[in-house]
Chains A and B, each alone.
Chain A
Amino acid sequence: MADSSEHNRFEELAAGYVLGDLDSEEMAEFQQLAVEHPALWEEVSELQETLNLLPFGLAESHPHPSVREQIMQSAADIQSPQLAAQSAAPTTALLQRPWTKIFGSIATLTTVVLGLQTVHLQQQLAQVQQELAQQKSRMASLPSAQTSEPTPRNVVITTTDTFVHRNWQGVEQILIDHDKSLQKGVQAVDIPSSQPTELVALLRRQIPMPSAVPVLSAMSSKLLGGSVCQFGKSKGVRITYKTNQHGQVSLYQIARSQKPELPQLTPEKLYLAVQDGPGGVFWSDGEFLYALVSDIPAEQLKELTSAVEIVDS
């Protein structure tokens, strides 16, 4: 960077980013600088490498020798069936996973999602506008004692893909992204991980992420991993879960921007049930937009949303 004071500022922000302690204003400033000067990711990378040297400052110890034997034996056990399977069918190791078939079936069932026409578009629009206006009115009329600690109120909208397409292209892109990820199955996950903090740490190497990240409770779902996504000019991440009751679920965290178009979201949750398509829950903390998408009815989405937890990483 040309200006040393600007560089010092970025260095400080980069250190805060690596340490996970940026507040929302600093995160916005960091993102802006990183967009203007992509080479500054080098700075982040250097600081991350430095931080990861800290374990070398500890007095070193070693695991019991039996640990090595167990690992090598388990690795050999894993290797044998895979080699057998590979010789039987020339597919990748990934495709040997049994749940690939399950995802394949889900993907087949959900391939046709968008494109249906509706005759009630104007009515839907009027209804949605009315509901939003009522919601806004209710929020405005809340006593100040309550607004200081607001009770989350939720908006439920049943609509069609056509309405979404014409009004909220950002929402449509998210729903399509979820659908594509269903079709790809496990291959939609670029960074496989079953550990939330680990996944966030690995994603953070690729994209700015705040220290507080929403995750689905491990009680209700199995974390498969995450991927970096691009929606218009906004970057985000898609975190993929497998649930027993609700199939594959995508949880998005996307930086806010003007494009693509999205509803003016608040911490209140917007439940969007799309006719014949996947449904989603959308909300925002002002800095990031969040979406939870799955092929289940809005009522079940509510249940699923209650399992969202915030991990401070």
Chain B
Amino acid sequence: MRLKFPKSHHPSEENRPVAAIYADGGELVAAIQRRELDALGYLFHHYSGLVYTLAFKILGNPHEAEDLVQEIFLGVWERCTYCPDRGSLSSFLVTVTRSRAIDRLRMKVNRRRIVSQWQHSLVPNSAATPLDHATQSEKRHALQNALAQLPDHYRQVLELSYFGGYSQSEIAQQLHTPLGTVKTWARKGLIQLRKTLQAPMES
């Protein structure tokens, strides 16, 4: 199951940018597995911004983020484990990037950061930066709308957990909030995000 956006304005998720050359993310990856360099170039063109943005957010260092970008794309080139049945290509790349960035973060000995520095880096109300292809713009737009409807503390906890790699116990400690409350905020935040994102499709 993929998140769906209104078909009248937004063609099926993730298919449109790839559709010009490849039918979908699966076909693009299949072309990469056939060692077609153009396919890798295409993948980089459309997803390097997403991968780099996430890597930079977690690692906080442009050189390390670029190093990780190289690792991710060359990893896909050497052996890609993406399976279209288990989600979208962007979700796969995000999962791999986030995990590897957090692995790198954990390898640093001195990893004592202040939770407060992580607040409010999601930008629910800011003008969307135009992307160079439409589907990611659609996602960005839809997500920003959904984030704008989310209570601040829900968003804060989700952000700390997702980008900061903090456990919810650590978040509870830092925010001086009971662990149960932090869990509830994170879960409700995620569930509400999904409902808001699905609403246009169902209306």
A interface residue numbers (CB < 8 A to B): 11-12, 15-16, 18-19, 21, 42, 45-64, 67-68, 70-72, 74-76, 78-79, 82-83, 93-94, 191-193, 195-202, 205-206, 211, 218, 311-313
Tally chain B residues at the interface, Cβ within 8 Å. 72
Q: Are A18 and B66 in contact (CB under 8 A)?
A: no
Please name all residues of chain A whose beta carbon is closer than 8 Å to the beta carbon of B143 when the two chains form the complex.
53-54, 56-57
Q: How far is the CB of B167 from chain A (nearest CB, A)?
A: 5
Q: List 16 A-B contacts (CB under 8 A).
A: A16-B183, A21-B161, A46-B194, A49-B1, A55-B50, A57-B147, A58-B121, A60-B140, A62-B49, A63-B62, A63-B65, A72-B40, A197-B100, A198-B96, A202-B81, A202-B95
Q: How far is the CB of A214 from chain B (nearest CB, A)?
A: 15
Q: Are A75 and B95 in contact (CB under 8 A)?
A: no
CA distance A55 to B54 in the complex (A): 6
Please name all residues of chain B whose beta carbon is closer than 8 Å to the beta carbon of A15 when the two chains form the complex.
186-188, 190-191
Across the interface, A46 reaches (CB within 8 A) one of B3, B69, B78, namely: B3
Q: Are B40 and A55 in contact (CB under 8 A)?
A: no
Across the interface, A205 reaches (CB within 8 A) one of B65, B78, B87, B144, namely: B87
Please name all residues of chain B whose beta carbon is closer than 8 Å to the beta carbon of A56 when the two chains form the complex.
50, 136, 139-140, 143-144
One of B17-25, B108-116, B124-132 at the interface: B124-132
CA distance A199 to B87 in the complex (A): 16
Q: Are A67 and B37 in contact (CB under 8 A)?
A: no
Q: Which of B155-196 contact A (CB under 8 A)?
A: 158-159, 161-163, 167-168, 183, 186-188, 190-191, 193-194
Would A21 and B86 be within 8 Å (CB), given that A55-B94, A62-B49, A191-B81 are in contact?
no
Q: Name the CB-closest residue of A to B33.
A: A93
Across the interface, A197 reaches (CB within 8 A) one of B103, B126, B159, B188, namely: B103
Would A58 and B123 be within 8 Å (CB), given that A21-B168, A198-B103 are in contact?
yes
Q: Name the CB-closest residue of A to B86.
A: A205
Q: Name the CB-closest residue of B to A211.
A: B167
Q: 11 new A-B pairs (CB below 8 Å) besides A18-B190, A19-B187, A202-B99? A: A58-B57, A58-B122, A63-B52, A67-B48, A71-B74, A74-B74, A75-B73, A191-B81, A198-B100, A201-B96, A313-B99
Interface presence of B197 (CB below 8 A) = yes
Q: Name the CB-closest residue of A to B54.
A: A55
Q: Are A50 and B74 in contact (CB under 8 A)?
A: no
Please name all residues of chain B whose beta carbon is closer than 8 Å to the beta carbon of A76 when the two chains form the complex.
37
Which of B77, B126, B131, B139 neighbours the largest number of chain A CB atoms within 10 Å of its CB?
A: B77
4 residue pairs, one from A and one from B, having the closest CB atoms: A198-B99, A15-B187, A57-B122, A52-B91
